[in-house]
Every structure is written in structure tokens, then in C-alpha cells.
């Protein structure tokens, strides 16, 4: 459709897989910003074959460092992930295939064209650090569907330029601030310079000891009011 987009390559990739582990995950998802790596754990039901606790695991590293991990033999990979998780879950073992995804943020310069609209990932590609890109994609689908239903009910053209323009305006107002904030957070938590580490520490302490700030961040990320 000839729509240009602003792109930012973070120079990092995510390795995603399922792993069994010894210690229970307590049905808690968490994200760990370690020096030189970011780890995430998403609890799953126990492994149906072995009954062992199981989780979806995400490891983010500079792209060249991800490639060797994809070809490690499963036992060696399990030991490496156990080390990276600092043994918090006990010994870990691979329970699925492994996949790597490059982290590239994409923001289209426009969302609509003649009888055309971008929704979902086509309307926004953002760093997953705030886990909000998927929600914004669903929000765009909901907004566009509402416009289409209203136009159809009123007997208007469902692709009228004014309705598409209104969809674009609403979606940009919702997504642009979160997109920019996510870019800032991603850069802050992936840089290893002393000033970046200092700023991270200050931000975490502010969030820990200032409940209104913590509630404001949570409301912004969840769409709560």
C-alpha cells in the first residue's frame, strides 16, 4: 500500500521456548532485567508427560549471542538456562523447540489509505518490555470494527474517508504515547553504561517508594482510569 514506517532495530533478539524446572513457579509471571540480559518467565500448566513444573521462557540478548544458544544440545542448553536464571527454579530442561525473534520497533507514518486501514501488528510493532503491543493491536481492531458497524447501520460507506481518518486519529492518540514511553524504557534497561545503571536504580527506587507513581505507571500500561 506504499505506507512508509519509522523503524528502530534494538540490535537484540529474543529466544523463546518452554522449559521444565524443579521448583514451582507459584503461577507467577516475572521479568528480570539483569546486567547484559533480560529474562522473562510465563507460568504454564505442569508438563503433561512428567508432571514437572513448566514455563514459557524468554531470554533477550544481543543478536549474535542468541545464535549459539539455538544449536546447543538440549542437556547443555538446560544447564546454560539454569545458570542464567541463577538456579532460582532449580535445574531446568528444554521442553519444546527454540525460536528467535529480532527486536525491531515499527511505527507506520500513516494508518489508512483509500479503502484500507492498518490494524494489529501492521499498525504498531513495539518492544515487548511493557507487554502492551498486543493490547494496542486488539484495541485498534475494536475501534475499526466499531466504525465499520456504525457506518453499516447508518447505511454509509464502511470505508468512508472521514471514518478511516477518525479511526487513525483515535488509534494514534492511544498508541503513540505508549510507543514512545516503551522506546525510552527499552533503551534505559538495555544500556550498560554507568549513567544508565544509575538512572535505572533511581527509577526503581522511585517506583518502590512512591505509590502514586507506581499506580500511574500501572494505569498507563493497563488502560485503567
pLDDT at 149 over 80: yes
pTM over 0.75: no
pLDDT at 223 over 60: no
Contact 39, 32 (CB under 8 A): yes
Considering the domain architecture, whether residues 17 and 88 belong to the same structural domain is answered as yes
Residues 54-108 have pLDDT tens digits of 999 999 999 999 999 999 999 999 999 999 999 999 999 999 999 999 998 899 9
Mutual orientation of helices 211-222 and 194-209 as an angle, nearest 10°?
100
Considering the domain architecture, whether residues 179 and 193 belong to the same structural domain is answered as yes
Which of residues 102, 133, 158 is at a domain's end?
102
Residues 156-215 have pLDDT tens digits of 999 999 999 999 999 999 888 888 887 777 776 666 667 766 776 676 676 667 777 667
Could you tell me what percentage of the chain is helix, strand and coil, using 3-state DSSP and rounding each to the nearest 5?
Answer: 45, 25, 30
Q: How many residues does the chain have?
A: 225
Considering the domain architecture, whether residues 70 and 150 belong to the same structural domain is answered as no
Q: Which carries the bigger pLDDT value, residue 126 or residue 158?
A: 158
Considering the domain architecture, whether residues 211 and 112 belong to the same structural domain is answered as yes
Answer yes or no: is 4 within a domain: no
* Domains identified in the chain, total number: 2
Nearest-angstrom CA–CA distance, 123 and 138: 11
| φ and ψ of 199, to 5 deg | -65, -40
- Could you tell me how many helices (H) and strands (E) the chain has, helices first? 6, 8
Of 33, 81, 86, the closest CA to residue 56 belongs to: 81
Considering the domain architecture, whether residues 192 and 177 belong to the same structural domain is answered as yes
Considering the domain architecture, whether residues 61 and 78 belong to the same structural domain is answered as yes
Nearest-angstrom CA–CA distance, 181 and 185: 6
Considering the domain architecture, whether residues 117 and 84 belong to the same structural domain is answered as no
Domain of 132 in residue numbering reads as 104-222
Of 122, 221, 138, the closest CA to residue 178 belongs to: 221
Contact 41, 57 (CB under 8 A): yes
Sequential DSSP letters for 69-98? HHHS-HHHHHHHHHHHTTTTT-SEEE-S--
Answer yes or no: is 1 within a domain: no
List of E strands, the chain: 5-21, 30-34, 37-43, 54-62, 92-94, 99-108, 112-113, 116-117
Amino acid at each position: 500500500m506504499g505506507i512508509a514506517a519509522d523503524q528502530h532495530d534494538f540490535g537484540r533478539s529474543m529466544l523463546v521456548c518452554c522449559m521444565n524446572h524443579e521448583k514451582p513457579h507459584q503461577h507467577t509471571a516475572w521479568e528480570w532485567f539483569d546486567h547484559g540480559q533480560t529474562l522473562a518467565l510465563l507460568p504454564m500448566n505442569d508438563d503433561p508427560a512428567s508432571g514437572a513444573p513448566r514455563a514459557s521462557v524468554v531470554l533477550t540478548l544481543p543478536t549474535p549471542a542468541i545464535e549459539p544458544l539455538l544449536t546447543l544440545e538440549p542437556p547443555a542448553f538446560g544447564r546454560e538456562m539454569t545458570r542464567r536464571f541463577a538456579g532460582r527454579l532449580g535445574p531446568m530442561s528444554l521442553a519444546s523447540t527454540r525460536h528467535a525473534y529480532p527486536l525491531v520497533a515499527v511505527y507506520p507514518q500513516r494508518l489508512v489509505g483509500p479503502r484500507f486501514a492498518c490494524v494489529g501488528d501492521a499498525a504498531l510493532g513495539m518492544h515487548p518490555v511493557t507487554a502492551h503491543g498486543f493490547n494496542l493491536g486488539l484495541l485498534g481492531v475494536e475501534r475499526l470494527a466499531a466504525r465499520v458497524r456504525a457506518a453499516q447501520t447508518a447505511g454509509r460507506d464502511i470505508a468512508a474517508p472521514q471514518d478511516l481518518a477518525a479511526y487513525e486519529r483515535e488509534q494514534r492518540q492511544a498508541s503513540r504515547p505508549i510507543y514512545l514511553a516503551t522506546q525510552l524504557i527499552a533503551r534505559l534497561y538495555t544500556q550498560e553504561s554507568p549513567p544508565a545503571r544509575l538512572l535505572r536504580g533511581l527509577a526503581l527506587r522511585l517506583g518502590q517508594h512512591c505509590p502514586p507513581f507506581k499506580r500511574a505507571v500501572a494505569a498507563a500500561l493497563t488502560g485503567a482510569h
